Amino acid sequence: MSDKNIIEIRDLTKIYKNGVDVLAVDGVNLDIKEGEFLAIVGPSGSGKSTLLNMIGLLDTPTSGTIRLKDVDVTKATPDERARFRNKELGFVFQYHHLIPEFSAMENVMIPLLIAGKNKDVARARAQELLDKVNLNDKLNNRPNQLSGGQNQRVAVARALANSPSVVIGDELTGNLDTKTSNLIYELLRELNRKLDQTFILVTHDMHMAEKTDRILRLVDGKIVCELKRQGDGFIESKVCDLGEDNGKIRRV
């Protein structure tokens, strides 16, 4: 992990206006360092997905700014945002959303082909990534020929395809059993260490969150607590409202 901020979020606010206004994200300020392994936790409806989708340029903030690698991406056009998503961001969702007609290999190749890489380069890169997620023997399997955990690993490989600055994962193990979830988190941890890959992961599960280096707790769209890894445990920020998670966290 370097000292360089890869993401700087200032006063980020999202208000949904569907008849009634819903303040989903409320003036969030957050810096994320290159190579960080970060978890966002919080109760349902606290704004975790909304925050993540704005960081992932899938959603636009109502106000505030997000700087990605020193570029204010909140002002980007739809096509520029598409290019950022392709080159600088990787996504893993609760469901893998792989294209069912494509093999594991072909699914991983798509972001590379969108980026304009030729097929041979894309194929080589896809093979390398599937090897990294331990699926080198399943290259030609289609999603329906793979288990949930394997598909999610293909999705991770796809997220890494263009060596993005940040990989974001929203409940990416939400659909998997504990054992498989642990394996996926260990894989992400390993990728984080080996590739210095930045990860921002939203999860309900404190056990998963504890595998990261920093945990942010979001309540009603606000960051109410920040926990930083120190050795095997975590230290809390000065002000900290851990709500129902209080006591579940190993302290230093």
Partner 1 sequence: MFELEVAKRHITSNRRGTAFTVLTVAVAVGVIIMSLGLTEGTKNQIIENTVEKNPHIVLGPKQNEGYIHLYRNIERLLSSYPGAIAVSPRLVVQGAARHKDKVEGIELVGLESDKEERLMQVQGNLLAGNFSELKFKKKYAILGVKLAEKLDARPGNDVYIYFRNNSAKVSVSGLIEKGTAKDSSLVYISLKTAQNLVGEGDVVSEIGVRMEDYTEAPVLARDLEPTTKYNVESWQEFNREISRFIGTQNRINVIFYLLIFLIAGFVVANTTIMIVRRKTKEIGMLMAIGATRSSIMEIFILESLLLGLPAGLLGILVGIGFAQAIASYPIDMSSAASGVTMLMLDLRPEFIIYALIFALLLNISSAVYPAYLASRLDPVEAIGNE
Ligand X SMILES: Nc1ncnc2c1ncn2[C@@H]1O[C@H](COP(=O)(O)OP(=O)(O)OP(=O)(O)O)[C@@H](O)[C@H]1O
Query: Any contact of residue 192 with partner 1 (CB under 8 A)?
Result: no
Which does residue 44 bind out of partner 1, Mg ion, ligand X, none, counting CB within 5 to 8 angstroms by kind?
A: ligand X
Please, which residues have CB within 8 angstroms of residue 126's CB and are 6 or more apart in sequence? 105, 106, 108, 109, 112, 139, 157, 161
Q: Is the dihedral of CA 152, 154, 158, 159 positive or negative?
A: positive
Smaller CB separation from Mg ion, 38 or 108: 38
Q: CB burial class (10 A; 0-12, 13-18, 19+) of residue 240?
A: middle
47 binds partner 1 (CB under 8 A): no
Q: In this complex, which beta carbon is closest to partner 1, that of residue 14 or of residue 138?
A: 14
Examine residue 162 and tell whether it contacts Mg ion (CB under 5 A): no
Distance CA 236, CA 228 (A): 7
The amino acid that residue 89 corresponds to is L
Scan for tokens 């798509």, then name that residue. Answer: 110
| Minimum CB distance to ligand X smaller for 42 or for 143 | 42
Q: Which is nearer to ligand X, 35 or 221 (CB)?
A: 221
| Residue selected from 6, 28, 42, 49 as contacting Mg ion according to rule CB under 5 A | 49
187 binds partner 1 (CB under 8 A): no
DSSP per position, 113-179: HHTT--HHHHHHHHHHHHHHTT-TT-TT--GGGS-HHHHHHHHHHHHHTT--SEEEEESTTTTS-HH
Q: Does 189 bind partner 1 (CB under 8 A)?
A: no
Footprint of partner 1 on this chain (CB under 8 A)?
49, 53, 56, 58-59, 78-79, 82-83, 85-87, 91, 93-95, 97-102, 106, 110-111, 113-115, 158, 161-162, 170-171
Residues at the contact surface with ligand X, assessed by CB under 6 A? 16, 18, 22, 24, 42, 44-50
Residues that bind Mg ion (CB under 5 A): 49
